[in-house]
Amino acid sequence: MHGSILEARQLPAGADLKRAFLVAMLEWLDAGWTLTEFSSASAAFFCVRNPERRMISIDPTNPHDVPMYGGAHLGGGQRSPG
């Protein structure tokens, strides 16, 4: 599970990234998750709903590429087709 992308959304060109970040935080809070820490500088936040912990981030990347940010490289670099 570490480094796995569970969901990806494409933001439209010119999207207000600060607003998208705040809206994402509110969506997770409304879904019953507890926000534990965040960084507006890296556009990432963590939330928990026992026993799960998730990291949500806004990254300029293709979700079908092998992620090489954070600890994703520790997952072996294999992606399933999809």
Domain boundaries along the sequence of the chain: 17-61
Contact in structure between 59 and 9 (CB atoms under 8 Å): no
* Residue 5 to residue 65: CA distance in whole angstroms: 11
* Residue 2 to residue 70: CA distance in whole angstroms: 10
Q: What is the pLDDT of residues 35-82, one digit of tens each?
A: 999 888 888 999 999 999 999 998 887 767 765 555 555 555 444 444
Mean pLDDT score, 14-34 = 94
Count of CB atoms situated within 10 Å of the CB of 22:
12
Q: What are phi and psi of 47, to 5 degrees?
A: -145, 155
Helix, strand or coil, per DSSP, at residue 28: helix
